[in-house]
Chains A and B, each alone.
Chain A
Amino acid sequence: MEFKVPTMAELMAAGEEPEILFWVGCAGSYDERAQKITRDICKILHHVGLKYAVLGTEESCTGDPAKRAGNEFLFQMQAMTNIEVLNAYNIKKIVTGCPHCFNTIKNEYPGLGGTYEVIHHSQLIQDLINEGKLKAEGGESFKGKKITYHDPCYLGRGNGVYEAPRKALEVLDAELVEMKRCKANGLCCGAGGAQMFKEPEKGNKDVNIERIEEALATEPQFIAAGCPFCMTMLNDGVKLKDKEQEVKVLDIAEITARANGL
């Protein structure tokens, strides 16, 4: 990367505090495809000059997949360990690169002693656009391009965030097309509830195929995502349908970074 990503430990050593902590998440840290999104979120933060930091190797799984799978012990062990780290650094505001981390830290950490202002990266982008700090200029033009947005369950239905990611796309002057099932009626990509980590039960179709068929029916050039797990499922779907050349699946952060030439 062209710049150094600051860690909390470094800031602490320098006696400084960040405005916002970027919670990267496991997928954003390890999954090759999601790492690109992570770096783009950092590029956006760097570009607008927001003082941020990450936990680096001090970050650990929020416990979300354990909780959805029914292992409350493991979830609370992870949660309390993370809360100890976050509180020790006096964290006030967190932006996450993943709706699952977002939901868990925002809704399930307060009861265990961790209360922070938590936003998803699409909300950060919306805020930056509203404040005039971020535009869509200096990079790739999405003008007139057909984009359809897939609502992640834990961002949309789970927490009622429907407008922020759409706002981030509207600023591109692109042609936004909605799938038949969108917003509150959005269809899951198939990865939630710890499904990401197991084979699906016996059925006649995979959920991501059902979803990708609906997405492709809008004849988009881009499918926009806001979740690393949706990203995997949608990408797999596009590959299976042999549409990799015509349709690209990109995260809201990647689209924003591209439009700004970051």
Chain B
Amino acid sequence: MVAQIIFVLLVVAGTALFAFNARKVIRNIKLGRAANRSDKPQQRLMTMLKVAFGQTKMAVRPVPFLLHLVVYLGFVIINLEVLEIVIDGIFGTHRVFAGLGGLYNFLIGSFELLAAGVWLACAIFLLRRNVVKLKRFSGVEMKSWPKSDANYILITEILLMSAFLLMNAADAKLQTLGVAHYQQAGAFPVSTLLLGLLPDSVNTLIFIERFCWWFHIVGIFGFLNYLPYSKHFHIMLAFPNTYFSNLNPKGEFTNMDSVTNEVKAMLDPSFVPAETAPGKFGAKDIQDLTWVNLLNAYTCTECGRCTSVCPANMTGKLLSPRKIMMDTRDRTEEVGKNIDKHGADHQDGKSLLDDYITREEIWACTSCNACTEACPVNIDPLGIIVELRRYAVMEESVAPASINAMLGNVENNGAPWKYSPADRFNWAQEDQ
């Protein structure tokens, strides 16, 4: 009975804490400006099913695709087992779904195979990061916390899967010994291989079984509450992120309505613009970005596919699209913490541009869209870079000198170079 009460408290506290932190993340995402992504619901749903659920963009790199697929399927399917664990925990039952008979045996057997797969995949992932040291997982932004974060996730998953398998092994042995409460149920294709490791004492076996059971479920609730602080949040946010992703051609940049009004008024003095909220042009800080940009930032799992295909990054420039996303998330978190501590109007004198992302980074971008193409969950680093450039150019008039010269030429000559508009048609002259 005491165990049941503790269990219920654990479930309630674990869920409540997660809800509390998730709401904070949602509040932070809503710090961004409005953006309409409620159009074309059917196409959005299909995009989500294909890209997030179906993992289509992962397939470009077959090795990580297969390993990730095992972990992904393991995560989704083994969580069916959590349902049974929760019911058992609340009511003090043991393997409450055992009545399903053959189907139950099939399910438990499948979970075991998947668990072994997840264990192996995570071990390979750890090797890829720490022993093989793949270039994609290094870079200036992948020091300290981001590096540890990835390892914590993988080690936790290995521990959870180990506990799950060891629990089953102890259970299987207790079942064969005919210990009361441990009814005959389940099939254990993997954990039977661990039987040799187990002692024969019934009490020790029960201790191992119970310990692993508690470790597994406490671990799951702990992991759940780790998500909002971690890059691993992508396991949830990948779905809304792909649903709300950009459906327009990648080459298309947004037209700024606020600018349209001013330009129309300039070209036609009789034009009366519709009321629009005053605001700055472009983005200096995260509140100037849209909520989609901020959702992107929280969704990023720092896999580095964007950075590895970025022409600026691969030729040694400072720009890394992954860093753009990580900086945006870090700054959003910082602004959120300021609100918690000092209230909504607090200014800390810092901003995304300059304190996190430098001018050198934003001007190195070729806007080639390799990063958005490479992202397995449709994150758009280019959208943020463009907003930062807009702020620099339109609010501050600060740009590289040659860019200013180009802009001056477009304005005065209708071409980015210093040629006379009168000469524009010279290419067609008779003597050419």
B392: min CB distance to chain A, Å: 6
| B403→A60 contact, CB < 8 A | no
Stretch at the interface among B10-18, B79-87, B90-98, B408-416: B408-416
For chain A, give the interface size range.
35 or more
Contact present for A74 and B407 (CB under 8 Å): yes
With an 8 A cutoff between CB atoms, is A128 at the interface? no
The residues in B between 407 and 432 inclusive whose CB is less than 8 angstroms from any CB of A are 407, 410-411, 414-417, 419, 421-430, 432
Q: Does B253 contact A108, Cβ atoms closer than 8 Å?
A: yes
CB distance from A213 to the nearest CB of B (A): 11
Instruction: Identify the stretch in B160-168, B243-251, B292-300 within 8 Å (CB) of chain A at 4 or more residues.
Output: B243-251
Q: Are B428 and A193 within 8 A (Cβ)?
A: no
Given contacts A26-B417, A29-B424, A112-B260, contact A193 B373 (CB under 8 A): no
* B410 proximity list for chain A (CB < 8 A): 61, 63, 65-66, 74, 78
Contact with B along A173-206 (1 / 0, CB 8 A): 0000000000011011011111111111111111
- What's the minimum C-beta distance from B185 to chain A, rounded to whole angstroms? 50
Question: Chain A CB within 10 Å — which of B260, B266, B407, B428 has the most?
Answer: B428
Chain A 193-231 near chain B by CB (<8 Å), digits 1 or 0 = 111111111111111011100000000000000000000
- Is A159 at the interface (CB under 8 A from chain B)? yes
**CB of A72 to closest CB in B, whole Å:** 5
In contact, B263 and A76 (Cβ under 8 angstroms):
yes
Q: How far is the CB of B80 from chain A (nearest CB, A)?
A: 36
Task: Determine the distance from Cα of A207 to Cα of B282 in the docked complex, in whole angstroms.
Answer: 27
**B402 close to chain A: CB less than 8 A:** yes
Cβ-neighbour of A157 out of B368, B399, B429 (below 8 A): B368
Indicate which residue in B366, B390, B427, B432 contacts A153 across the interface (CB closer than 8 Å): B366
The segment from B62-70, B174-182, B227-235, B357-365 found at the interface with A is B357-365
Contact of A197 among B250, B309, B319, B416 (CB under 8 A): B416
Q: Is the CB of B256 within 8 A of A72?
A: yes
Hey, which bits of chain B sit against chain A, CB under 8 A? 60, 248-253, 255-256, 259-260, 262-264, 266-267, 281-282, 309, 311-312, 314-319, 360, 363-370, 373, 386, 388-394, 399-400, 402-403, 405-407, 410-411, 414-417, 419, 421-430, 432
Nearest 7 A/B pairs, CB to CB: A158-B251, A70-B389, A193-B367, A204-B316, A60-B414, A203-B316, A188-B368
Using a CB–CB distance below 8 Å, which chain A residues touch chain B? Answer: 1, 4-5, 7, 24, 26, 28-30, 35, 38-39, 42, 54, 56-57, 59-61, 63, 65-74, 76-78, 80-81, 103, 106-108, 111-112, 153-154, 157-160, 184-185, 187-188, 190-207, 209-211
Selected A-B contacts with CB under 8 Å, 8 pairs: A1-B429, A24-B427, A67-B253, A72-B390, A80-B264, A185-B370, A193-B365, A194-B367
